[in-house]
Amino acid sequence: MDVLIKANQSPSHYYMAARAYSGVVYDNTTTTAIIQYNGNYTPPSTPAFPNLPDYNDTDATTNFTRQLKALASKDHPIDVPKTVDVQMFVTISVNTLPCANNSCDGPNGSKLAASLNNISFVHPEVDLLQAYYRKLVGIYETDFPNMPATVFNYTADELSDELLLPERATKAKVIEYNSTVEIVFQGTNLLNAAENHPMHLHGDHYDNNELGQEFQLQFVPVDALVTPSRVIILLQIQQNARH
């Protein structure tokens, strides 16, 4: 979450604090910072610490999240492009790479490696933009695929171990200036790690009983993505009575 702070208070020192809201195992350490105004004033010996909601304060969480709204209005229009120049379907996975003598802490002595379209990024010796600007060769390849090389049931409970080993490469997607790009991100259940990346939504039917919200998703088969008009992604948010 991005937060914009308006510095409109009397010059002083102020605490900024946050804590997690969750019912699962997590680091419950409260994170804090102190905002110090510039100017001539006598700072307090100890800034006042804010009163934070409890970790399980559902009402406080619900009251906050219900205030989050899009800016879509006449003054802030959201104009979604109707014509797409480049379509990409990108899988996001947690894979494994072998270690010498099976000496790493991952499954079977391997190490974990994230991948996009089963390609695990290898950091180049020169920044990609510098290599592009200087027309350096051999730093990266421009053939990052629009689709994964292998199509499979990405969310199946049991997946072949052959899918665990990704290609290691430094690949980029070169796109013409001012192009409209459609990217569909698809998480995979390799290593039962479908939730271990920041771009995912629980589905196909997900009830958040604590917050009184229900998410329902319906997806079409992957091969239908070839024709954008056939893509149907339905996200319905229902406010239910909290259980």
The tens digit of pLDDT for each residue in 71-121 reads 777 887 877 788 999 999 999 999 999 999 999 988 889 999 999 999 999
Domain boundaries, the chain: 1-79, 86-199, 201-243
pLDDT score of 235: 40
Structure tokens at 17: 């604090």
Q: Please provide the size of the chain in residues.
A: 243
CATH class name, domain 86-199: mainly beta
Please, which pLDDT band fits residue 237 given cuts at 50, 70 and 90?
A: very low
Tens-digit pLDDT profile for residues 144-166: 999 999 999 998 888 998 999 99
| Nearest to 114, CA basis, from 91, 93, 83, 88 | 93
Tens-digit pLDDT profile for residues 8-63: 999 999 999 988 777 555 566 678 999 999 999 999 998 989 898 888 888 888 88
CB 56 within 8 A of CB 153: no
pLDDT score of 72: 74
| Nearest to 65, CA basis, from 199, 217, 242 | 242
Please, which pLDDT band fits residue 167 given cuts at 50, 70 and 90?
A: very high
Structure tokens at 152: 């499979």
Map tokens 């990052």 to a residue: 144
**Rounded to an integer, what distance in angstroms lies between the CA atom of residue 230 and that of residue 233?**
10
**Rounded to an integer, what distance in angstroms lies between the CA atom of residue 58 and that of residue 209?**
10
